[in-house]
Amino acid sequence: MANTRAVLDAEEYPNTEVQKNRVLTLEEWQEKWVNHKIAFHQERGHQLLKKHLDTFLKGAKELRVFFPLCGKAVEMKWFADRGHSVVGVEISELGIREFFMEQNLSYSEEQIMEIPGAKVFKSSSGNISLYCCSLFDLPRANIGKFDRIWDRGALVAINPGDRKRYADIILSLTRTGFQYLLSVFSYDPTKHAGPPFYVPDAEIKTLFGSVCNIHCLEKVDAFEEVHKNWGIDYIIEKLYLFIEK
């Protein structure tokens, strides 16, 4: 493992094209849930989000918060418990059901008429709605616009060739004055094929820089024992805050 300070100060990897043709199907993601290959799930929630939550919320009340590719993220309940309205999208029905079960929340489910085969799961309290469908189909459901977006495990999971389409959808769902918190990883993409995929700073600026002022809130050494199995010797997590220009 490299020296932590040196890792955090390292330049980005120069070969940003190496993963560009990588594709995971929706079926492969669903299989990960069925086979419990969900190491990306954080049972205690995302600690950098917790640290910067006040900066993200700015004391606002009753916000609409969007969780793209939400899985069973415990942070959804954090926001709901603070009086905010949470909407998520997730391809795995199993992941959605596990969220409500593990958080001890009763819920209802209904078909989404605009998207054949899709469902929405709603907490009985009414402030959490999770859509089970492809994110790229979601705009057809007319889910409204959002004040905040928490993107942890979404941009880094989308197939690299779909990032422009993803960014366009995300930005189309934002209200005036929105803020967007994004977590990405930096590592040597020639040694690990992803996901999570490597998203360089330059691409983040290309995707969002025309609409957002981009601030890097924090960089942390995220290397753990499991990453040795990926064949890498360092991985940096970066937390960005996007604010509407």
Give residue-wise pLDDT tens across range 46-60: 999 999 999 999 999
Mean pLDDT within 37-47: 76
* Residue 186 confidence (pLDDT) above 50: yes
Looking at residues 112-132, what average pLDDT do you find?
Answer: 96
Of the listed ranges 31-35, 107-111, 119-123, 156-160, the least confidently predicted one is: 31-35
| Structure confidence at residue 45 (pLDDT) | 81
Predicted pLDDT of residue 23: 85
* Range scoring the smallest mean pLDDT among 15-19, 110-114, 225-229: 15-19
Q: What is the rounded average pLDDT of the residues 201-213?
A: 96
pLDDT at 1 over 50: no
CA distance linking residue 132 with residue 88, whole number of Å? 9
Which residues make Cβ contacts (< 8 Å) with residue 170, sequence separation at least 6?
A: 68, 149, 151, 180
The pLDDT of residue 11 is 56
Q: What is the DSSP letter of 210?
A: T
Mean pLDDT computed over 194-215: 95
E strands present in the chain? 64-67, 85-90, 107-111, 119-123, 128-132, 146-152, 174-186, 212-221, 236-244
Angular region, 153: left φ>0, alpha ψ -120 to 50, beta rest: left
Q: Is the pLDDT of residue 144 over 70?
A: yes
Confidence bin at 15 (pLDDT 50/70/90): low
Domain 26-244 sits in which CATH superfamily? Vaccinia Virus protein VP39 (3.40.50.150)
In this prediction, residue 10 carries a pLDDT of 57
C-alpha separations of 152 from 11, 39, 106, 126, 174 in Å: 22, 13, 25, 23, 17
Q: How far is CA 104 from CA 30, 36, 93, 239, in A?
A: 23, 20, 17, 30
Nearest alpha carbon to residue 198 among 159, 238, 156: 156
For residue 112, give Cα distances in angstroms to 90, 106, 132, 144.
14, 19, 9, 15
Predicted structure pTM score:
0.92
Mention every residue, 6+ apart, whose C-beta is less than 8 A from residue 243: 179, 212, 213, 215
Is residue 39 within 8 Å of residue 32, measured between CB atoms? no
Is residue 38 predicted with pLDDT exceeding 70? no
Quote the CA–CA distance of 63 and 127 in Å, as a whole number: 11
d(CA 108, CA 100): 10
CA dist 91 and 95 (Å) reads 8
Q: 141: which DSSP letter?
A: G
**How does pLDDT run across 167-181, given as a tens digit for each residue?**
999 999 999 999 999
pLDDT at position 34 is 78
CB crowding 101-120: b at 16 or more within 10 Å, else e: eebebebeeeebeebeebeb
The model's confidence at residue 8, banded by pLDDT at 50, 70 and 90, is: low
